[in-house]
Every structure is written in C-alpha cells, then in structure tokens.
Amino acid sequence: MEKVQAQNVCFGYNGSRVLHEVSLTVETGCILSLLGPNGSGKTTLLKVLLGLYPPDSGQILLEGDPVSELTPRQLARKIAYVPQTHKMSFAYSVFDVVLMGRAPYTSIFSRYSKEDYDIAMETMDRLSITKLKDRIYTEVSGGERQLALIGRALAQGADTLVMDEPLTGLDYGNQIRLLECIKGLSCEGYTFIETTHFPDHALWISNRAVLMRQGRIVADGATQSVINEQAISDLYEKDIAILDVGNGVRTCMPRSLLDKQASACHSFDFQEAGDVSHSCFS
Amino acid sequence: MKKSFIFGVLALTLGAAILLSFTQGRYPLHLVDLWHYLQHVLFHSPMADELANRIGVLLCDIRLPRILAAVVVGAALSVSGVTFQAMFVNPLVSPGILGVLAGASFGAALGMLLSTEWAVVQVSAFSFGMIAVGLALLLSHFYKGDRLLLLILSGVISGSLFTAMLSIIKYLADPYDQLPAIVYWLMGGFSMISLDTISTLAPGILIGILIIVAFANNLNLLTMGEEEARSLGIRVRTMRLMFIVVATLISSLTVAIGGIIGWVGLVIPHMSRMIIGPDNRVLLPFSALMGALFLLVVDNVSRQVFTVEIPLGILTSLLGIPAFAGVLRVARKGWG
C-alpha cells in the first residue's frame, strides 16, 4: 500500500528553489534511505513530506489523502518526526518526552488521560528504555535520547517515522543498536523514511534507496541496485569502491584511502581537502 | 519530595502570609483583634462600634486592596515570565521582552499628562502595553527568518520606541507637578490602590492566568521548537499568538494596578523551576503562588521597615538582584 506520496513537488525558501519536481512513492513497511551531499535538499524533502512546509507546487498524499487537507492533529497520528538528537533547553524527564507523543489525542486543554500514561509506559517497555523513565532527557546519552524520540513517535500512534540523520552523533555501538531497532520495527509494519550520510547504513538496513542531488532525485529503487560504485562515486564526487564481503553483503570504501600508495601523506591534496584540514585545526 | 507536598506547603505559607499581612502596618493590630472583628461581623458578637468601624476601614479599605494587589500582581508577573521564558526557550526573557512594560509606561505617563483622572491613566497604561506588543508582532511579520528571533528583535524595537516617547513626555511634563508623579509611578507600588481598582482589574488577571495554566501542556510542546511542536499536532502560530496575547494582557493589567515592578517576572520563574522542575503544567501554578508570596512579603517590607514608604519596584529590584545572583550558580537546573 502507498503510505506517502510526493507528486511533482517543487519547494523553495525565499525564492531560491530547493526541490525541483520531486516525485516519490513510499510503500508500507519500507525502510527508505535518502542519500545525497550536503545541501542536496534531503532534510527539506523530509519536512515537506511531514507537511511542515506546504509545497509551492505539486502535492503530498498521505495514505491517499492530500496532506494539506489534514489537520495537524490528524497528521500527527499518521506520520511522526524524529529530529536529529537535539539539545533541549528544559530538563524534562525521558518519560515526559515520550508522553508528549500523546498530545494529538488529548483534549483542547491537553490533559493526558490514564490511557495516555499507560501507552507511554508500554512504549518505553517495548523499546527497553523503562529504566530511563525518571532520568533527565538532557542528561542521558545521545543513543538513549534518540530512543526516547522514537518512543515519542510510537506513542503518537503514527506508523510512518521520518528521521533526519538519526545516527549523527551516536557512538558505533549505539548506531548499530538504533539500526537494529529500526529494522525490528519495520518488521512489525512501520515505515521509515530517513536521511543518512553513510551508504553503508542504507546497505545494512534499507530496502529502498533514493539519491538526491541539487534538489532532484537522481536515482530511486532497491538499495542493492541503486547503491553501486558509479552512482555513489558520482553523488559524492569521490572514487568509491563497493566491495563484496561474501554472501552478497556489500560495503563501501573510498579508493583513495584503500590504496596504500595514494593514501601516503605526500600525495595528499591539501588544496582539495582545504575545508577539511581547516576544520581540523580550528 | 513529592511535588504535591511542596505545593501544599507553599499554598499554606501563602495563606498564612496573607493572614499575617492584615496585622502588619502602622496601626498595631493583632491576630486576636482580627478574630474578634471577624466574630463581630459574622456573629454580631459585642464590640465597641467605634473600634469596629476603625478596624473595618483599616482592613477592607486599606489593607485588603493592597494584599490583593500584591498577590494578584505577583502571580501575574511570574506566570507571564514563565510563559515567555518557555515560549522563547530563553532564560534571559522576562515579561517585558516584547515591549509591554515600555508601552504601558508611556501610556501611563501620557495619561498623567492629559488627565488628572486616575482611571484614564490606568486605561491608557493598559492600552499602550497592548499596542506596543501589537506593534512588535506586526513588525516581525515584515521579515523572513527565524520567527522567535524576529519577535524578540521586534520587541526590542517597539520597546525602545516607547521608551523614547516616554522621554518626550517626561520632557514636556510640568516639572513641579506631573514629572514627579510620572517618575514616582514608574518606580511601581501599591500606595494608590483602592478596592475599586483591584476588584475591577483582578478578575481579568485571574482569568488570564487560568487560561495560560489550562493550556500549559501546549506550552511544553512549544518548547520543543516550532517544527517538532507542529509534528506533534499543535497549531504553533495560533498557540503562540494566544500565549503572547494573554501574557501581555495580564502584564499590562499589572502595570495599570501598580506601575513597573521589576525582576519578579524574571527571578520567580527561575526559582520556581529550580524547586519544581520545568514541566509547565506544574510550574505555572507553582510560580503563580511563589510570585504572589514574594510580592506580598516585599510589599509588607516596603510599607513598614522604613519611616517613609519605599516604592515597591525599587525593593523588588534590590531584593531580586542579589537573590538572582545567589541562585545563578544553580540556576541551570531545570534548563538542560
């Protein structure tokens, strides 16, 4: 079934166009990875899909209904936003953050019912974060915060989760834990649309990959076919090798770092890596 | 400690403070006198008519309005402070952020220049408080970008404009009569309060506080940022506008009641958040009680400690600033 559909969506901020004629159909249960260089419009596309920004032309359909005709509350019950781990300024408890997911079900004065509390507790159980219940959200680890935000999304009752670089800032173990969690939830029927900077993550968990460049979708299809040497090398303007590590499992490696000769320091092109080396020292 | 317990303690303390405040003042009156008078009024127990009259006037016409004013204004300023701090997710924000106090000051001064009628001054103060914030809201719509940042900048512009216009009024005012009145009034205080004033304006404030408290959870969601709040089903623009209008309304009313009383709206929200946490559903009512208690105590001090009554606004600053400096060390609690 079609969960989310973008039809010829164009969008821009202050007159400069960010998305050009983007069309995309996301099926139920799919894990879609959105890849592309910085500034390619990934995050903007996510926000347009969420109905946060109305497109300049074209439309977004959610389970067949135009998003523009749904109220924010109706929308919130169907599609949830899991932002990049952010630093909230107020020290809410992890439970309070999860409970906020029940907001679209509360009355106008937003009193949570007993049922809302129960659902928030169940959700925490499901993600095995019950022990974090009374911890302060800003004081738990990045991985735990990300789980709390997923908990909030699940408490919303939404079955489509839109995640903006969910792995950014997490250590290796937490990245893997989060990917396992996403994969597990997808088996239960949840749909994921996420942006990522690592083609490997897409290869590990997603069954659909979309490549974006300068506000246009340049490739869209099954992850295994979309993520190939040619496409990834073109997308990031770097020579990337995709190695088969057995059983059809593949992984990306940058050729310049693989090749012992080329990775020797004397051949390192500082000119090209100018902004990188700059950021190392500043 | 359980939050409800802390709440109970605070509510009891406020109740006791209100009761004791009736006994505080130049004319000595003890709780026992209060008790006798109450029995006289309710059960017609014997009491000398002259004494009963005197106590009646003292309590109802002099002390009651002041106590009510301190309680209501203190609560309003801290609730409005909590609201703005949460909405802008910024610890430096106080009720005056969008220019309401500057506008109301100008309005009051203008009222004093044009009329000797006290009601005119109050209506003018209230109206210009609202106008100043309206101007800030209008200004912020002319620019594109981060809405909250633009609102703060527009508030600074609007506030500065009205401060400048206040200077013009001061310059034009009669230096022997009007100017001292304006300056004195801007220092804030309840020495001019009457039962009439407070019974007219207090209901508006109380309703405003109730509205904000009723929508407290929406305020929690707004602190998550515009996009997240929307994705959680909140109509962000509508909610934000509602909070701004109501918070401005109650701060304008406080100016109409007691002039500019500084620091309450900044210090009390911080102290309350440290004690009870950042959840606005609990924090808003709690800070209302805290603000009421604080201003009541300070007002008692202002009318007794010195031979001449010190304007309340001066005292709240003198007490608020060191208190704030003292808690600054732990002020980050409640903020992530």
Q: What is the pLDDT of residues A170-229, one digit of tens each?
A: 889 889 999 999 999 999 999 999 999 999 999 999 999 999 999 999 999 999 999 999
- pLDDT confidence of residue B262: 86
pLDDT, tens digit, 9 for 90 and up, residues A28-59: 999 999 999 998 999 999 999 999 999 999 99
Residue B156: give its domain's CATH number: 1.10.3470.10
Contact A110 B89 (CB under 8 A): no
Instruction: Flag whether B4 is in a domain.
Output: no
Q: How far is B235 from chain A (nearest CA, A)?
A: 7
pLDDT, tens digit, 9 for 90 and up, residues B190-238: 988 889 999 999 999 999 999 999 999 999 999 998 899 999 999 999 9
The reply to whether B147 touches chain A by the CB within 8 Å rule is no
Average pLDDT over residues A249-259: 85
Which of A53, A60, A110, A161 to probe by mutation at the B interface, max B CB count within 10 Å? A110
Percent of chain A's residues with pLDDT above 70 = 90
| Amino acid, single-letter form, for residue A12 | G
Instruction: Flag whether B2 is in a domain.
Output: no
Element counts in chain A: helices (H) and strands (E): 12, 12
A→B interface, C-beta within 8 Å: 14, 47, 50, 52, 71-73, 75-77, 79-81, 83, 86-92, 96, 100-101, 103-104, 106, 109-112, 136-139, 152, 156
Give me the phi and psi of B217, to 5 degrees please.
-70, -30
Average pLDDT over residues B156-170: 96
Residues of A in contact with B218 (CB under 8 A): 110
- pLDDT confidence of residue B331: 56
Rounded alpha-carbon distances, angstroms, from residue A227 to A19, A214, A258, B55, B127: 22, 18, 19, 88, 63
Q: Are A214 and A41 in contact (CB under 8 A)?
A: yes
Residues of B in contact with A83 (CB under 8 A): 225, 227-228
Task: Among A181-185, A247-251, B320-324, name the most confident range.
Answer: A181-185
Q: How far is A219 from chain B (nearest CA, A)?
A: 28
Domain count for chain B:
1
Instruction: Flag whether B284 is in a domain.
Output: yes
Of A88, A103, A156, the CB nearest to B234: A103
Average pLDDT over residues A246-272: 71
Instruction: Flag whether B8 is in a domain.
Output: no
Nearest to B296 by CA among B68, B126, B122: B68
Of A71, A76, A137, the CB nearest to B232: A76
Instruction: Flag whether B276 is in a domain.
Output: yes
Residues of B in contact with A88 (CB under 8 A): 223-224, 336
Contact A52 B227 (CB under 8 A): yes
Percent of chain B's residues with pLDDT above 90 = 60
Q: Is the pLDDT of residue A268 over 90?
A: no
Range of the domain at B329: 14-335
Rounded alpha-carbon distances, angstroms, from residue A184 to A4, A124, A194: 21, 15, 15
Instruction: Flag whether B3 is in a domain.
Output: no
Instruction: Flag whether B270 is in a domain.
Output: yes
Residue of B nearest to A155 (CA): B232
Contact A72 B235 (CB under 8 A): yes
- pLDDT confidence of residue B303: 84
In the numeric block, the tokens 């009051």 are attached to B108
| Amino acid, single-letter form, for residue B166 | L
Percent of chain A's residues with pLDDT above 90 = 67
Average pLDDT over residues A71-90: 86
Q: Is the pLDDT of residue B29 over 70?
A: yes
Of B214, B216, B335, the CB nearest to A89: B335
Give me the phi and psi of A13, to 5 degrees please.
-105, 135
Residues of A in contact with B233 (CB under 8 A): 71-73, 75-77, 103-104
Q: Which residues contact B258 (CB under 8 A, 6 or more apart)?
A: B69, B73, B188, B189, B190, B193, B312
- pLDDT confidence of residue A277: 44
Strand partners, A160: A79, A191
Give me the phi and psi of A193, to 5 degrees please.
-125, 115
Predicted-complex ipTM score: 0.85
Give me the phi and psi of A20, to 5 degrees please.
-115, 115
Confidence of residue B295 (pLDDT cuts 50, 70, 90): very high
Residues of B in contact with A96 (CB under 8 A): 220, 279
Instruction: Flag whether B158 is in a domain.
Output: yes
Q: What is the CA radius of gyration of chain B?
A: 21
- pLDDT confidence of residue A89: 73
Confidence of residue B325 (pLDDT cuts 50, 70, 90): confident
Nearest to B17 by CA among B255, B202, B277, B291: B291
Between A and B, how many residue pairs show a Cβ–Cβ distance under 8 A?
A: 84
Confidence of residue B326 (pLDDT cuts 50, 70, 90): confident
Contact B335 A83 (CB under 8 A): no
Look over chain A and give the mean of its residue pLDDT values, rounded to a whole number: 88
Angle B183-B185-B190 (CA atoms, 0-180°, nearest 5)? Answer: 150
Contact A89 B336 (CB under 8 A): yes
Confidence of residue A115 (pLDDT cuts 50, 70, 90): very high
Q: What pTM was computed for the model?
A: 0.88
